Amino acid sequence: MRIVPVAGYDSMLLNIGGAHNCVFTRIIVILTDSAGHTGVGETPCHASTLQLLAQFRPLIEGSSLLRLNATLSQLFSSDARQQQTSHTNDIHIPQMNPEKFYNAAAAIEAALLDLQGKLFNLPVADLLASGKQRDRIPVLGYLFYIADRKLTNMHYRSGDNEQDGWFRLRHEAAMDSTAVVRLAEAAVEQYGFRDFKLKGGVQAGEVEVETVEALLSRFPEARVTVDPNASWSLEEAIRFGKQLAGKVPYLEDPCGAEQGYSGRETLAEFRRATGVPVATNMIANDWRQLHHALQLNAIDIPLADPHFWTMRNANVVAQLCNEWGLTTGCHSNNHFDISLAMVAHLGAAAPGDRQTAFDTHWIWQDGQQLTRQPPQIRDGYLELPPGPGLGIELDMERVEQAHALYNALPDKNRNDALGMQFLIDNWRYDAKRPSLVR
């Protein structure tokens, strides 16, 4: 088992937490079996996740691929969790939380599934409980407001050497609806999207709704939505929801906890008041949260990210959606093409036809692949890679280059506040205010 932290380049994308740094980080887990086959997994990078992966190594090395269930069960046993938490605290690294635990387990599980698929000559999608249902899945064009990188002294890429179109525009400032529509046009030309999501929580709600309506005007046949990351108050969310009702397929986390009420309670009120379906990656991120959210009828689309649920658990969520009349979706963050393959197999195994277009940030990292033949997005669909396992082969030269970039970083943990300090003096994160509303 090899644990490889890696880094790649990003644009100055805005969100409620600030501005994406010029570099993002991930962790690659590489497993090699006794036959010489390689399995890989990818997950978000944090110091505590790296430490957990190192501590899990004795449970993985020497285990049998035919006993994958038993191996993974050891990771999730209460004794193992308690031991990892205790040891993490003893050595004074950042406090372990359930999210980091699942991040670590998800990378290992994906790599084991990749190896097992090669052992049985089956795609990972066929190893998930539902089995492969399709060869491609719809994905959406994830759009952002982009700040002007020239206002910083950070080393953002310029895109000056790129041809006109998506690969140049993704590096340029886009702070109004006209610029965001231009981004969408370029993304359609490059990837053929029929669905879009605007990352909100950046400007005043009125501005973001105006951008959604501009996208709908330009692409009247497209499905367009916005994710304010719960920065709207319930009152605002209901007002904007009524304005967008019948125009958008759903809203993602339009409001959150306020005035003593939980995010699950306010989202339930929002649904009753507007009739607009709700997607979330904020208030139903584990089994207990999902249970409470469904009891309150607060959500319609749980966005089960395989990096935070694991691939097999996310597939179970998809099965529950199919059985209970919910819609399957998937959350995303900046990632390399290993994660893109994980998402492709997850979507390919989701049962039924109640599936919304999956999120992916890959369009912002396209060209930085760590595999020889990365999965492709064509005509708005992510195609399942051919071949057994995840269907990908690492390009080790590129992996080592990404690892060297990670090692060169002075601060290896994500900090979206850093770039915002160049835009707004003394900027601080506020969960209830869009990042530019100060």
Catalytic: which of 100, 171, 199, 361? 199
Q: Do both 360 and 284 map to the same domain? A: yes
- Residue 7, φ and ψ in degrees, nearest 5: -140, 155
Facing residues of 371 across strands? 394
- Hey, what are 390's tokens? 């995840």
Q: Which residues contact 87 (CB under 8 A, 6 or more apart)?
A: 55
Residue 337 placed within a domain: yes
Q: pLDDT tens for the chain, 438 residues: list them.
A: 999 999 999 999 999 999 999 999 999 999 999 999 999 999 999 999 999 999 999 999 999 999 999 999 998 884 455 554 444 333 333 445 788 899 999 999 999 999 999 999 999 999 999 899 999 999 999 999 999 999 999 999 998 888 779 999 999 999 999 999 999 999 999 999 999 999 999 999 999 999 999 999 999 999 999 999 999 999 999 999 999 999 999 999 999 999 999 999 999 999 999 999 999 999 999 999 999 999 999 999 999 999 999 999 999 999 999 999 999 999 999 999 999 999 999 999 999 999 999 999 999 999 999 999 999 999 999 999 999 999 999 999 999 999 999 999 998 989 999 999 999 999 999 999 999 999
Which residues are documented as binding site for Mg(2+)? Answer: 227, 258, 281
Q: At what angle do helices 98-120 and 68-76 cross, to 10 degrees?
A: 180
Residue 427 placed within a domain: no
pTM: 0.95
Please report the pLDDT score of residue 77 as a whole number. Answer: 81
Please report the pLDDT score of residue 162 as a whole number. Answer: 83
Residue 310 placed within a domain: yes
Q: Do both 366 and 228 map to the same domain? A: yes
Known active-site residue 412: no
Facing residues of 28 across strands? 4, 42
Q: Compute the distance between CA of residue 98 and CA of residue 287 in angstroms, rounded to an integer.
A: 12
Domain tally for the chain? 2
CA atoms within 13 A on the CB side of 150: 7
- Residue 165, φ and ψ in degrees, nearest 5: 120, -160
Catalytic: which of 118, 331, 335, 361? 331
- Residue 377, φ and ψ in degrees, nearest 5: -105, 115
Q: At what angle do helices 78-90 and 68-76 cross, to 10 degrees?
A: 50
- Residue 376, φ and ψ in degrees, nearest 5: -115, 145
Please report the pLDDT score of residue 148 as a whole number. Answer: 98
Please report the pLDDT score of residue 80 as a whole number. Answer: 53
Instruction: Please tell me whether residue 267 adopts helix, strand or coil conformation.
Output: helix
In eight-state DSSP terms, residue 357 is P
Residue 423 placed within a domain: no
Which residue, among 180, 142, 128, 193, has the nearest Cα to 332 in the 3D structure?
142
Pair 361, 143: CB distance under 8 Å? no
Q: Do both 118 and 178 map to the same domain? A: no
Q: Do both 143 and 114 map to the same domain? A: no
- Hey, what are 280's tokens? 């979330």
Q: Do both 116 and 144 map to the same domain? A: no
Which residue, among 395, 382, 305, 401, has the nearest Cα to 30 in the 3D structure?
395
Residue 435 placed within a domain: no
Which residues are documented as binding site? Answer: 227, 258, 281
Q: Do both 262 and 328 map to the same domain? A: yes
Please report the pLDDT score of residue 297 as a whole number. Answer: 97
- Residue 126, φ and ψ in degrees, nearest 5: -80, -15
- Hey, what are 413's tokens? 């943990």
Which CATH number covers residue 378? Answer: 3.20.20.120
Q: Do both 370 and 401 map to the same domain? A: no
Q: Compute the distance between CA of residue 355 and CA of residue 342 in angstroms, rounded to an integer.
A: 17
One-letter amino acid at 423 equals: L
> Between the CA of residue 35 and those of 39, 56, 119, what are the distances in Å?
12, 22, 9
Q: Compute the distance between CA of residue 61 and CA of residue 33 in angstroms, rounded to an integer.
A: 9
Q: Are strands 278-280 and 301-302 parallel, antiparallel or unpaired?
A: parallel
Q: Compute the distance between CA of residue 375 and CA of residue 369 in angstroms, rounded to an integer.
A: 10
Residue 298 placed within a domain: yes
Which CATH number covers residue 23? Answer: 3.30.390.10
Please report the pLDDT score of residue 161 as a whole number. Answer: 85
Q: Do both 226 and 317 map to the same domain? A: yes
Q: Compute the distance between CA of residue 1 and CA of residue 246 in angstroms, rounded to an integer.
A: 50
Pair 327, 300: CB distance under 8 Å? yes
Q: Do both 148 and 108 map to the same domain? A: no
Q: Are strands 251-252 and 278-280 parallel, antiparallel or unpaired?
A: parallel
Q: At what angle do helices 68-76 and 47-60 cross, to 10 degrees?
A: 140
Please report the pLDDT score of residue 88 as a whole number. Answer: 39
Q: Which residues contact 46 (CB under 8 A, 6 or more apart)?
A: 94, 100, 103, 413, 414
Q: Do both 263 and 293 map to the same domain? A: yes
Consecutive H or E run containing 279: strand 278-280
Q: Do both 242 and 110 map to the same domain? A: no
Q: Which residues contact 115 (CB under 8 A, 6 or more apart)?
A: 31, 33, 37, 38, 39, 65, 389
- Hey, what are 132's tokens? 């492969």
Q: Do both 50 and 173 map to the same domain? A: no
Residue 426 placed within a domain: no
Please report the pLDDT score of residue 99 as a whole number. Answer: 84
Per the structure, the complete domain to which residue 80 belongs is given by 2-122+395-408
Residue 24 placed within a domain: yes
